[in-house]
């Protein structure tokens, strides 16, 4: 016989334009759709809008598995020694420790879903990004080197994130 959890996760719903949203890296928009609080720590889900030729540098996650599901656009995804072109409807799973990056190789903004398991890594984007509610347009591109330096330090110290290029 199992004992029910004291506070089991409840059903969670957000409309298309809802969820905490930040600008990170070179103008990527990260919107948190679900995180540790909403899923009982099981997973985090983030919608990412990526400008052309943008995306994070090569990195690994030490604490969580990650998956990408492409909604719109064309993305180059590097996963260890594989280089893939992933289009809408394409999915890739990355176990923790996988060297990876993604880059929008299309001519328009692309969109993907990032899934992390277990939850918790979604907080990284809230920690390093600029809230879109306070900054309705992406930050100037000359901020990018400072953003990367801050992101690398915080990611390493608090989130088990390791960058291998910047």
> Two tokens at 110?
């692309």
State if pTM tops 0.85: yes
Q: What's the pLDDT at 88?
A: 99
The answer to whether position 16 is within a domain reads: no
CA dihedral sign of residues 32, 132, 18, 28: negative
The answer to whether position 88 is within a domain reads: yes
The answer to whether position 98 is within a domain reads: yes
Of the pLDDT bands very low, low, confident and very high (cuts 50, 70, 90), residue 113 is very high
> Two tokens at 145?
């080197």
**Any bridge partners for residue 93, and if so which?**
67
Instruction: Provide the domain limits for residue 44.
Output: 21-158
The 10s digit of each residue's pLDDT in 116-157 is 999 999 999 999 888 999 988 887 766 655 566 777 777 888
Residue 106 has pLDDT above 80, yes or no: yes
The 10s digit of each residue's pLDDT in 34-85 is 999 999 999 999 999 999 999 988 999 999 999 999 999 999 999 999 999 9
The answer to whether position 1 is within a domain reads: no
How many domains is the chain partitioned into structurally? Answer: 1
The answer to whether position 104 is within a domain reads: yes
Residue 15 has pLDDT above 70, yes or no: yes
The answer to whether position 85 is within a domain reads: yes
The answer to whether position 141 is within a domain reads: yes
Write the DSSP assignment of 35-53 as a string of letters: -HHHHTTS-EEEEEEE-TT
Q: What is the CATH number of the domain that holds 103?
A: 2.60.120.10
Residue 93 has pLDDT above 80, yes or no: yes
Write the DSSP assignment of 84-148 as a string of letters: EEE-TT-EEEE-TT--EEEEE-SSS-EEEEEEEESS-THHHHHHHSEETTT-SSPPPGGGHHHHH
The answer to whether position 12 is within a domain reads: no
Q: What's the pLDDT at 2?
A: 59
């Amino acid at each position: 016989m199992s004992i029910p959890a004291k506070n089991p996760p409840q059903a969670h719903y957000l409309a298309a334009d809802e969820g905490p949203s930040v600008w990170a890296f070179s103008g990527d928009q990260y919107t948190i759709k679900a995180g540790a609080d909403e899923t009982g720590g099981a997973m985090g889900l983030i919608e990412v809008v990526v400008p052309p030729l943008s995306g994070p540098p090569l990195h690994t996650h030490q604490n969580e598995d990650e998956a990408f599901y492409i909604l719109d656009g064309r993305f180059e995804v590097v996963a260890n020694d594989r280089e893939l072109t992933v289009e809408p409807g394409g999915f890739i799973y990355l176990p923790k420790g996988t060297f990876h990056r993604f880059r929008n190789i299309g001519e328009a903004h692309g969109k993907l879903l990032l899934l992390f398991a277990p939850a918790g890594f979604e907080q990284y984007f809230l920690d390093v990004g600029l809230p879109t509610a306070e900054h309705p347009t992406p930050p100037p591109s000359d901020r990018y080197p400072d953003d990367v330096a801050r992101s690398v330090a915080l990611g390493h110290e608090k989130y088990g994130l390791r960058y291998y290029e910047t």
